Structure 1
Amino acid sequence: MGLKVLHLIDSGGLYGAEKMLLNLVQEQLNRGHEPMILSAGEPHIEEKPIESEAKRLGLPVMAWRMTPGLNLKEAWRIIKWAQAKNYQFLHSHGFKFNVLIGLFPRFLRKIPSITTLHGYVHARRFSKMWVYECIDRVAIYRMDGVVLVAEAMKGEIPERSRASLNIRVIPNGLNIADLKKRSTVALEDQIQQFINSHELVILGIGRLSREKGFDHLLRAFHKVKSEFPGAGLILVGEGKQRDALEGLTAELDLSEAVLMPGYCSNVPALLKQARLLVMPSLTEGLPITLLEAMAIETPVLVSAVGEMPKALGYGKGGHITQSIEPAELADAMIALLHNSCLKKKTEWAAQAVVRDYSAEAMTNNYLSLYNTVAGQKT
Structure 2
Amino acid sequence: MKVLHLIDSGGLYGAEKMLLALVKAQMDQGLEPMILSAGDPAIEEKPLEAEAKRLELPITPWRMKPGFNIRESRRILKWAISDGYHILHSHGFKFNVLLGNYPKRLRGIPMVATLHGYVHARRFSKMWFYELLDRFAITFLQGVVLVGEAMKKELPDHMVTSEKVRVIPNGLDIDAILLQAEQPIERLAEEFVGSHSPIVLGVGRLSQEKGFDRLIDSFQIVCEKFDNPGLIIVGEGKQRVNLETRVAELELGDKVLMPGYSSNVPGLLRTANLFVIPSLTEGLPITLLEAMAVGVPILASSVGEIPAVLGFGDGGYVLPESSDINDLGDLMVDVLDRFQDRSKVDWSLKEVASSYSVEWMERRYREFYRRATAS
Secondary structure in 2 matching 1:28: helix
By how many angstroms is 1:207 displaced? Answer: 0.4
Map Cα deviations across residues 229-262 of structure 1 (whole Å, 9 max, x no partner). Answer: 2100000000110000000000010000000000
Rounded to whole Å, the distance in 1 between the matches of 2:271 and 2:283 is 26
Q: After the TM superposition, which segments of 4 or more aligned residues of structure 1 sit over 6 Å from their partners?
A: none
What is the aligned counterpart of 2:100 among 99, 102, 119? 102
2:328 corresponding residue in structure 1: 329
Map Cα deviations across residues 50-86 of structure 1 (whole Å, 9 max, x no partner). Answer: 0000000000000000000000110011011000000
Rounded to whole Å, the distance in 2 between the matches of 1:171 and 1:65 is 30
By how many angstroms is 1:324 displaced? Answer: 4.3
Q: Which structure 2 residues correspond to residues 110-189 of structure 1 after superposition, within 5 A?
A: 110-164=108-162, 166-189=164-187
1:220 corresponding residue in structure 2: 218
Rounded to whole Å, the distance in 1 between the matches of 2:339 and 2:109 is 54
By how many angstroms is 1:149 displaced? Answer: 0.3
Map Cα deviations across residues 326-374 of structure 1 (whole Å, 9 max, x no partner). Answer: 1010011010011144311101101101111010000010001011112
Q: Which structure 2 residues correspond to residues 200-279 of structure 1 after superposition, within 5 A?
A: 200-279=198-277
Amino acid of the structure 2 residue aligned with 1:308: I
Q: Which structure 2 residues correspond to residues 189-204 of structure 1 after superposition, within 5 A?
A: 189-204=187-202
1:305 corresponding residue in structure 2: 303
Q: Is the 8 A contact 1:299 1:342 kept in 2?
A: no
1:77 corresponding residue in structure 2: 75
Range moving further from structure 2, 339-348 or 27-36: 339-348
1:57 corresponding residue in structure 2: 55
Secondary structure in 2 matching 1:203: strand
TM-score (norm 2): 0.98
By how many angstroms is 1:130 displaced? Answer: 1.2
Structure 2 residue ranges without an equivalent (≥5): none
2:20 corresponding residue in structure 1: 22
Structure 1 residue ranges without an equivalent (≥5): none
Pair 1:340–1:44, CA change in 2 (3 A): closer
Rounded to whole Å, the distance in 1 between the matches of 2:137 and 2:156 is 15
Q: Is the 8 A contact 1:36 1:62 kept in 2?
A: yes
Secondary structure in 1 matching 2:117: coil
Q: Is the 8 A contact 1:146 1:165 kept in 2?
A: no
2:370 corresponding residue in structure 1: 371
Rounded to whole Å, the distance in 1 between the matches of 2:163 and 2:38 is 26
TM-score (norm 1): 0.98
Range moving further from structure 2, 165-174 or 267-276: 165-174
1:7 corresponding residue in structure 2: 5
Rounded to whole Å, the distance in 2 between the matches of 1:264 and 1:161 is 37
**Identical amino acids, percent of aligned pairs:** 56
Q: Is the 8 A contact 1:216 1:324 kept in 2?
A: no
2:43 corresponding residue in structure 1: 45
Rounded to whole Å, the distance in 1 between the matches of 2:4 and 2:113 is 11
2:355 corresponding residue in structure 1: 356
Q: How large is the Cα RMSD of the aligned pairs?
A: 0.9
By how many angstroms is 1:375 displaced? Answer: 2.1
Rounded to whole Å, the distance in 2 between the matches of 1:180 and 1:335 is 27
By how many angstroms is 1:168 displaced? Answer: 0.3
Secondary structure in 2 matching 1:63: strand
Q: Is the 8 A contact 2:198 2:336 kept in 1?
A: no
Map Cα deviations across residues 143-189 of structure 1 (whole Å, 9 max, x no partner). Answer: 10000001100011133343456100000000000100000001111
Rounded to whole Å, the distance in 2 between the matches of 1:324 and 1:196 is 32
By how many angstroms is 1:200 displaced? Answer: 1.5
1:347 corresponding residue in structure 2: 346
Q: Is the 8 A contact 2:96 2:137 kept in 1?
A: yes
Amino acid of the structure 2 residue aligned with 1:118: H
Pair 1:24–1:339, CA change in 2 (3 A): same
Q: Is the 8 A contact 1:24 1:363 kept in 2?
A: yes
Q: Is the 8 A contact 2:159 2:165 kept in 1?
A: no
Pair 1:324–1:53, CA change in 2 (3 A): farther
Amino acid of the structure 2 residue aligned with 1:373: A
Rounded to whole Å, the distance in 1 between the matches of 2:163 and 2:281 is 23
Amino acid of the structure 2 residue aligned with 1:28: Q
Range moving further from structure 2, 87-96 or 121-130: 121-130
Secondary structure in 2 matching 1:38: strand
Aligned residues: 374
